[in-house]
Structure 1
């Protein structure tokens, strides 16, 4: 059986919004610019024409990908029966070995963002945290070495920053 790809409602909406933007605004704009460049004559030496063709191919590639992807993803937007345990979509505050605090959110692979703490459900940290609750400690093997975390808090609504 194939593994399901999960995504939060906000993550799915961001992909759907990108698809809509590319299809309704960006692509028609580029097609118009391409037509203008084509009207200028010799296409073989027309940098604008060559650039717009490349840009259009990239947009079409992304539109094809997003069109398939938004249909394949399983949106998870419910709070689990036990909101004190870590499951998909949770924000988790942890403290590491050096007493530094970190906030992670377990999300699908399409919406990971290291800068905001959004980590993939399949990452080592997320796999270690799934099913645990506040006060639990977890040991994680990371590419940079071993790390221990203690879970301080679990949220299913965006926590105050």
Structure 2
């Protein structure tokens, strides 16, 4: 078992700054090469505190403010234009960055793209549901409409 410090959010494992124990192969082949975690050491306490301070700064201050943002996000539909071929298949995928930009373009709040979670890749035109994690206890289910872009 490898002991690591998470530097990014990993679904099902933890948030930045958390100390986790995972199997050696998962750490060596996935988490560390992708920059999602670093090795644990005694001197890493300062790094953990810096990560937690940055996360607290980016997060919504209270559950109530996060709930207000959730209500505003869930009441709207956000449109993402993407190039598509025959049958409604996209050339590529709609990324979390595209979704975050669509939220801001529609007059919504600034959303961190790392807090957006889509079930699988969005590769077709139509309506899709994504989850935006606003606070540890608050998540918004956002409707994203993918439409064909004019070429």
With structure 2 as the length reference, what TM-score do the two structures score?
Answer: 0.28
| More helix, by proportion | 1
- The structure that has the greater radius of gyration is 1
| More strand, by proportion | 2
With structure 1 as the length reference, what TM-score do the two structures score?
Answer: 0.27
